[in-house]
Each structure stands twice: as structure tokens, then as C-alpha cells.
Amino acid sequence: MPHYLSLFGILMAGFAGLVLFSYDKSFQTVVAIATATAYVFWGIVHHYLHKDLHLEIFAEYLAVSVLGLVILFSLILR
Amino acid sequence: MRIIKLLAHLFVPHESNNQKAKILHPSGLLVLAFLAISFQLILNIFPKTFPRVLGYAASISPSEVVRLTNEKRAQNGLLPLTENSVLSSAAIAKGNDMLAKDYWAHFAPDGTSPWNFFVNFGYKYRYAGENLARDFSNASSAVDAWMASSTHKENILNANYKEVGIGVVEGDLAGVDTTIIVQFFGTPQNAAAAIPAAQAKETSTTLPTPKPVTKAAVQKIQPTPTVEPVSSLTPTPAPTQVPMGSLISPFTSTKNLSLAIVGILLLVLSVDLIVVRRKRIARIGGRTLAHIAFFGMILAVILILKAGEVI
């Protein structure tokens, strides 16, 4: 449960940054990258602590964050 | 039957996909990312092949921008700005200059400053300021975006300004039909003496102090080739919005595609969560709940983000 609270904090901070600074595209870009990176790190730490960290899992979190980043960039930079 | 098997393979945990929908595998997710990137490439190439198809359809009334600006000032205990037709003409000229020279900035690539337009139209200012907005669907969202930015808000709520001019122009900017709003603020040199002398202000950076313009100097000034000057004594009619017809908005189409991708993923992840729990499937993989939270955040951002940019 504490793991999910930290994830919730990361995602809320990312959401707030993207919405509150909607007029600053460069800041939004940085926030999007930071949120996606933090998500991958959250996955690594979470699975490491659960002793089930595998390369496939890392690849999955990376792919999820890359897709999220592509979607956000396509809207922020459009 | 084959189609059902294929759909099950793509979207439902199954033996064929190692108990995880194929679309949720790293390869499936990267294919979706590739599709999203390809769509953006098509949107960028499209205007070169089919001009005047992509664009931001907007119907923005300059007087509505003035009304909303004065509404914000009134809410902050400031006097309303008077709409000045000379400033409006200068603002339209600035907008047309951006379209003609294909730039989106306060200063033109050739160094033309916003204040050149004030001077070219014979507006002698004590204070001057400029706000720019593009791709907004209505006046309210543009003014709200300016108010959300501290530097633009500072212009709107500047007690030194007495007059305002709005130029709404539509045209091709970097291959995409665009609606630009130019908001010029000014205080004439002959305004009430109570106003302290100060530097002219620009939205985000400090601009050089405007040089005092004498009457003789104004008469000698020749407008730049792209600017159509009007006599300061002759009020110009209110600028009219050019009808844009049916345009495909690059932002809206991107938003719709993003919603479709994220919507499908959230649905597949939810099905995955239920099926894996019910069947008690043990597998190596990321946390479905975490992915739902991540894409849920992205969905919320997609729904909230609006088209439009201010500088």
C-alpha cells in the first residue's frame, strides 16, 4: 500500500504540473519526461522490493512510459 | 472464428499470449507508440500536399476579447480599457505580418518590434504592451490562458494602460490554417499627466524603452512593406473573421486518437485485472493496477488539455 501511495503522489504531481503550467510548453515537456521516468523507477523499486524484478518487467514499464510520453508530447507540442 | 481468436489474442489474457493481452506486451505498446508518432508525421506532411485542409476553426470577436479583458480588470478594481481603432489596425497589421513572414513571436525575424506597428500607425504611446494567442476556439479560452500566465496577466491588469486594440487574423502559419489574436495595449502620450513615466512593457521580456515619437517623425515614417498603414484620423472598421470552412484541427484529431489509444488500453487493463484475479493466474509482469493509474493520469491530462498557445 505505501508503494501505491508514492505512485499516486508521482502521478498527481505530474498531472498538476501539466495542467497548471498549460501555458508553458517547455515546462510541460520537462514535467512529462520527469513523470514518465519516475514511473519507470517506481516500477523498478517496487518489483525489486518484491523480489520479482526481471528484464521483461523493466521492458514493460519502459514501454508503458514511452507510450505515455509519446501521447503527451503529441498533444503538448501540437 | 479466426477473427475472434485474433481479438482474444490481442485484448484478453489467453494461453496464446502467455496470459497477457498482446497489446499489453512491450512490443504491443511500442507498436501503439509507433502509430501515434506516424500520425504526427502524417499531420506534419499533410499541409504540404493538401494545403488549407488542416487548421483551427475559430470564431473570435475582437470586441468580445476587449469585453473579457475589461471584465478581468474590473474584477481587480481597475478601470476599463477603451477600444482604440488605430491600435486595432496596428494589431491586425502585426497579425498579418506574422502570417506573411511565417513567424510566431513578438519580434519578426528581420528584427521588427511590436512597437514598430504602433509607430507606423501613428499611435504615440507613453506605455505599450503586447499579448499574443493562437489556435484558441473562442475568446474566453484565450483570455483565460493569458490570465493563467503571470507575464500576460501583468499586461491585462496593468493600471498604466488606458487603451486596447485587438487584431484577429486567420491564415497559413507553417502550413496550417491558424487564427492569431494580437492584443495591443497602449497609453497615448497625451494621456492624463498623473501617469508616471515608465518603460514600455512586453509580455515576457523587458523590451527597450520606446523612444518618444514627435509629430514630425510620425509623418516621415514609412510603413514596412507588409504593413498597410491607415491614417490615425480615420477609424478602420472592426476586423472581421475570415470564414474558414470545414477544417481538420490537428490538435483535436491528435486528441481523439490519444483518447482512443488510452481508452482501449484502460479497457484491456481492466479486463486483464479481473481475469487474472478470477483465474488466479501467476505470471511475470508489471502491476496492472499501476498501469491503470498511469494511463488514468494521462487520460485526465488529455481531457483537460486544450488547443491554444500564448506568448
Q: What is the CA radius of gyration of chain A?
A: 13
- What average pLDDT score do residues B68-76 get? 94
- What average pLDDT score do residues B1-23 get? 89
Q: How many CB pairs under 8 A join A and B?
A: 114
**At residue B70, does pLDDT exceed 90?**
yes
User: Is the Cβ pair B26, A76 closer than 8 Å?
Assistant: no
**At residue A6, does pLDDT exceed 70?**
yes
Return left, alpha or beta for B245; rule: phi > 0 is left, psi -120 to 50 is alpha, else beta.
left
Task: Pick the residue from chain B with its C-alpha nearest to A47.
Answer: B286
Q: What is the pLDDT of residue B249?
A: 74
DSSP characters over chain A: -HHHHHHHHHHHHHHHHHHHTTT-HHHHHHHHHHHHHHHHHHHHHHHHHTT---HHHHHHHHHHHHHHHHHHHHHHT-
Residues B274-310: tens digit of each pLDDT: 999 998 888 888 899 999 999 999 999 999 887 777 8
Cα B251 to Cα B51: distance, rounded to the nearest angstrom: 17
Beta strand pairing call for B125-134 and B309-310: antiparallel
Query: Which cell numbers in the block locate residue A9?
Result: 503522489
Residues B154-198: tens digit of each pLDDT: 999 999 999 999 999 988 877 777 889 999 999 998 766 444 433
Sort out which chain B residues have CB atoms less than 8 A from A56's CB and list them. Answer: 26, 284-285
Optimal mutation site among B39, B301, B302, B305, interface A, most CBs of chain A within 10 A = B301
Residues B221-273: tens digit of each pLDDT: 333 333 333 333 333 333 334 444 456 778 888 999 999 999 999 999 999 99
Kindly state the percentage of chain B with pLDDT values over 70: 78
User: Is the Cβ pair A23, B305 closer than 8 Å?
Assistant: no
Query: Which cell numbers in the block locate residue B52?
Result: 488549407
User: Is the Cβ pair B301, A19 closer than 8 Å?
Assistant: yes
Of B29, B251, B291, the CB nearest to A78: B251
Of A7, A22, A23, the CB nearest to B293: A7
Q: Domain span at residue A47?
A: 2-76
**At residue B126, does pLDDT exceed 70?**
yes
DSSP characters over B57-84: -----HHHHHHHHHHHHHHTT-PPPEE-
Q: What is the pLDDT of residue B51?
A: 63
Beta strand pairing call for B163-173 and B82-83: parallel
Sort out which chain A residues have CB atoms less than 8 A from B262's CB and list them. Answer: 71
Does A17 contact B at CB distance below 8 Å? no
CA dihedral B293, B270, B4, B17 (to 10 degrees): 70
Sort out which chain A residues have CB atoms less than 8 A from B295's CB and list them. Answer: 64, 68
Cα B209 to Cα A66: distance, rounded to the nearest angstrom: 46
Does A8 contact B at CB distance below 8 Å? yes
* Minimum mean pLDDT range among A63-72, B211-220, B267-276: B211-220
Cα B187 to Cα B126: distance, rounded to the nearest angstrom: 5
- How many structural domains comprise chain A? 1
